[in-house]
Structure 1
Amino acid sequence: MKNTELKGYMIILVVLFSLFTVYQLIAHQIFYNHLKTDSITAWGEITARLIEQNPENEAEIMKVLTGNSSDSSEYQEKGREIFRQYGLYEDLETKLFPLLNNHIFSFNQTIFWGLICFGFILFLANYMQYKIIFNKIKQLTSTAKKIIDGDYSVSINENKEGDIAKLAVSFRSIKDIIRKNIKDLLGEKEFLGQILQDISHQLKTPLSTISIYNELLLNEDLPRQQQIQLLQNNEVQISRMNVLIQNLLKVAKIDAKAVSFDKESLNLVETIHEVLNRLENIINERNLSIDWDGTEEVVVTHDKLWMQEALMNLLKNAIEHSKPGDTITIQVKDTPIYTELIIQDFGEGITAEDLPHIFNRFYKASTSKKHDSTGIGLALTKAIIEAHQALIKVESEKNVYTKFTITFIKF
């Protein structure tokens, strides 16, 4: 029986019942002993008087008393006749037999008071048992109220087994879950405030630029060629804002776990080739070469579209920070424990001061020559990689190289 409360209550009932049974047996034994003693006393007196008057009948009298008389039925009937003459019948009330009546009255009183005492003990045991249970429930209710009021420092101590203990464990779990949810909500609130501030800051510059260009466009004397130039500039700023907003939405969805990744066991090499095909024009324009070092097939569980998004950001970052004529190396290493993808360029590099922050949202290296960067691409890449339960790290040396390593764990 796992319910310790019910088990304890049943043990108390069994113990009380056993004690009351023993009490009953003792009371009956005392009653029989007293009855036997008084019977011997009374019959001894009668026997002594009879033998005193008729000594020769002593043997017969003792036979009758010990149940060894051969003609007892005849004398039993004669004895009943004599008793009837004095008004003593079998159906006579017990109270008319003083000796027997005293014993029965004493026995009944013993049983009655025994019932009263054990009933009181049973009531007291029930009261104490339920008081303990309801005190625990009262404590849990008070604790729940404090948790509702925001006090998570309360402790719920219940180390025994049983339903109350299970309820206490559930309360502790609820308290921890609520505290974690509140903490997460506060963190999300802080994050939302920060991201809104960052978005506002990022959109402020292009919006101000567009506003200035629009004011210039309102000038009717402005030459057509300058109007076209201003409109093209506005288009660049609008495109920049569109990329920023789209990437921010993607990061926010991943952080909120609102993205359902369609992960499949696919060839990672094929996924990389498709990204390179989409970037082929940019690679050719900058006269870059790709040094591919890897097998033809490495199966990794991933969402193809989202992984291409992450690899696109890494490769574009490598392309944009490489000098014309440079080489970008791509390596894929497959082991029984993990698969490793390395993308390395030999361009601008990253300073030691900037290196720990490049995955932060809106972070731009102090020496970056890319003025139109939004600083959200690498943050999105990291979010996608980590959503695949993979790891990403970066190594770099200024004006020497930058190497991104993605590790897919197989277990």
Structure 2
Amino acid sequence: MKMFVINDKKLSLQVLIMTLILVGMIIITQLTVVWMTETYKKNMVVHDTEIAGYLLNQGMDAHQIAMAFTDDKSDNETQMGAVLLKNVGYRESMNTGLVPSVKHFYRKFALVNLFFSSGFSIFLLIVFSFFASQREKQYRDAGGKIQRFMDGDIAIRLEDSNDDSLSMFFAKVNIMATALTAHLEKEKNNRLFLKTTISDIFHQLKTPLTALQMYNEIILDEKIDNPVVESFSQKSQRELLRMENLIQNLLKLAKLDAGTIDLEKSRHQLREFLEKCQACFITRAAFENKKIKLDCDNLISLCCDEIWLGEAVQNIVKNALDHTKATDQIEISGRENSLLIEIIIKDNGLGIDPADIHHIFERFYRSCYSKDREGIGIGLALSKAIIEKHGGTITVQSELGEGTTFHLIFPKLTNL
């Protein structure tokens, strides 16, 4: 059987002191018992002396009186004596206060017991409170340092120089903090590298893409009078624009993932912001015979990066236009309560199949119902990333054939 050993010096000291206190209490208790016994014996002798003197004064034989106190008593004599004294009210159940010697004995040792037990309890409480306060101070200091570490002071460490179990635990926490700091530094370097790489790739793609657009525009400007060439040139132009939009969106999404985007937040009137988003699609909606309605109170304001959040809202409105037919309607509304600000984008278009609704924010996911429409399935993923970057959430409700509603929810805390 393995013996339990306490390696914590402070805890060992605490156990030692508590043990010494308990041993001291046992010794004091035993001494008190001896004292009580001696006192009881003295009181008993005094009591018997008083009785003997009284009987002698009443004319009883001195030898018989001495025999009464020194001879062994039979059970019959004990019973007879009990009956005699019971008749005059002298019994075990009588009030202690009626016997002066017993009353004095009780008061004396009740006070002694109260004094020693109270003193022991107070001393034990003081010792325990001292060690508890020392440990509590260590916990508070550690909690404060951990909070500072979480607030960005990654160089701070817990005090682990003492030879106790808590310091051993703090040492493990310090090792973890060092590893986490190294990981954060590595992550920071990776993000910087990723940002640089993304920028380089974008510029490498942008240059040939711009050249292709320029060549295609030259071909379109040339009046070749060849319908086939003109048709393919227009298709090529559309695909080049689509490719440029794809590259731009991928670049934005990659920057959000890398954490290299710093939002420039400021307070904006929500209605004015939504009107700008609506204006981007008025021409297309009119061309496709669709309506875009706006409903928002003029008093609502939202703290956001107008450019980035505008990108998120516009992607959702574009998605609604892509999945509605002529005469359908898209409603953009803003709501506010004491807890949050909400932007709602609702359409009465095709809706989303229940099998697809849990995947629509996944990158490059496209429903089987969208195969005949343009897009690569990155717009909603980008919108979700931007909204979450603002501290908000996005949810969707839809019924196939009835329409879709997106809820962009921003808690008031994000407006601070």
TM-score, length-scaled by structure 2: 0.50
User: Structure 1's 237 and 343: CA in aligned 2 closer, same or farther, altered over 3 A?
Assistant: same
Deviation at 1:269, TM superposition (A): 1.5
Cα distance change of structure 1 residues 182 and 354 upon mapping to structure 2, 3 Å threshold: farther
For 1:214-293, list aligned pairs within 5 A: 224-293=226-295
Q: Is 1:355 the equivalent of 2:384?
A: no
What is the aligned partner in structure 2 of residue 170 from structure 1? 174
- The 1:274–1:299 alpha-carbon spacing in structure 2 relative to 1, beyond 3 Å, is same
Distance 2:225 2:332 in 1: 49
Q: Residue 346 and residue 181 in structure 1: after superposition, are their counterparts in 2 closer, same or farther (change >3 A)?
A: farther
Q: CA deviation at 1:232?
A: 1.6
- Which runs of structure 2 are paired with 1:123-142 in the superposition (5 Å)? none
For the residues of structure 1 that align with 2:336 and 2:170, how far apart are their CA atoms?
48
Q: Is the contact between residue 322 and residue 373 of structure 2 (CA under 8 Å) also seen in structure 1?
A: no
Residue number among 307, 316, 337 corresponding to 1:305 in the alignment: 307
Q: Secondary structure of the equivalent of 1:357? A: coil
Partners of 1:158 and 1:375 lie apart in 2 by: 58
Q: Could you tell me whether the CA contact under 8 Å between 2:278 and 2:292 is conserved in 1?
A: no
1:238 Cα deviation from its structure 2 partner: 1.2
What's the offset of the Cα at 1:331?
A: 2.2
Aligned to 1:395: 397
Query: Using the alignment, how far apart are the partners of 2:350 and 2:412 within structure 1?
Result: 34
Q: Partner letter of residue 393 of structure 1?
A: T
Deviation at 1:377, TM superposition (A): 0.8
2:164 counterpart letter in structure 1: K
Structure 2 counterpart of 1:408, from 402, 405, 410: 410
Alignment partner, residue 374 of structure 1: 376
Q: Which amino acid aligns with 1:237?
A: E
Aligned residue among 334, 337, 344 for 2:336:
334
CA contact (8 A) 1:267 1:297 kept: yes
What is residue 297 of structure 2 aligned with on the other side? 295
Provide structure 1 residue ranges, at least 5 long, that are not aligned to the other structure.
9-155
Shift of 1:231: 1.6
Taking a change above 3 Å as real, the CA distance of residues 296 and 186 of structure 1, as seen in their structure-2 partners, is closer
8 Å contact 1:158–1:168 — kept in the other structure? no
Match 1:343 to one of 340, 345, 354: 345
Alpha-carbon separation, structure 1, partners of 2:187 and 2:256: 19
Any conservation in 1 of the 2:344–2:408 contact (CA below 8 Å)? Answer: yes
> What residue is the counterpart of 2:105 in the other structure?
none
Give the deviation of 1:186 after TM superposition: 11
Contact 1:318 1:328 in 2 (8 A): yes
Per-residue deviation, 1:158: 8.8
Identity %: 32
SS in 1 for 2:358: helix
Find the aligned partners of 2:175 and 2:311 in 1 and give their Cα distance.
44
Q: Distance in 2 between matches of 1:159 and 1:406?
A: 54
2:153 is matched with which residue?
none
> Does the aligned pair in 1 maintain the 2:316–2:345 contact within 8 Å?
yes
Contact 2:334 2:343 in 1 (8 A): yes
What RMSD, in angstroms, separates the aligned Cα atoms of the two structures?
3.9
How many Å separate the matches in 2 of 1:277 and 1:159? 70
CA distance in 1, matches of 2:265, 2:329: 32
Amino acid at match of 2:338: P
What SS is found at the alignment partner of 2:397? Answer: strand
**Does the CA contact (< 8 Å) of 2:398 and 2:404 recur in 1?**
yes
1:47-86 paired onto structure 2 within 5 Å: none
> Do the aligned partners of 2:350 and 2:400 also contact (CA within 8 Å) in 1?
yes
Unaligned runs of 5+ in 2: 1-7, 13-159
TM-score (norm 1): 0.50
Task: Show the counterpart of 1:314.
Answer: 316
Answer yes or no: is the 8 Å Cα contact 1:396–1:402 preserved in 2.
yes
Q: Hey, what's the Cα distance between the residues in 2 that align with 1:369 and 1:271?
A: 32
**In structure 2, what is the Cα distance between the partners aligned to 1:176 and 1:169?**
10
1:292 Cα deviation after fit: 2.9
Q: 1:355 corresponds to which letter in structure 2? A: I
Following superposition, the deviation at residue 183 of structure 1 comes to: 9.7
C-alpha displacement of 1:332: 1.5
Amino acid in structure 1 at the alignment position of 2:249: N
| Shift in CA distance, 320/158, structure 1 to aligned 2, threshold 3 Å | farther
- Structure 1 residues 175, 270: CA separation in 2 closer, same or farther (over 3 Å shift)? same
Aligned to 1:348, the other structure's residue is in SS state coil
Q: Residue 270 of structure 2 contacts residue 296 of structure 2 at CA under 8 Å; is this kept in 1? A: no
CA distance in 1, matches of 2:264, 2:184: 29
Task: Write the distance in 1 (CA, Å) between the matches of 2:233 and 2:396.
Answer: 39
2:164 is aligned with 1:160? yes
Q: Whose Rg is larger?
A: 1
2:143 aligned partner: none
Measure, in 2, the Cα distance between the counterparts of 1:351 and 1:159: 64
Cα separation, 2, equivalents of 1:269 and 1:324: 26
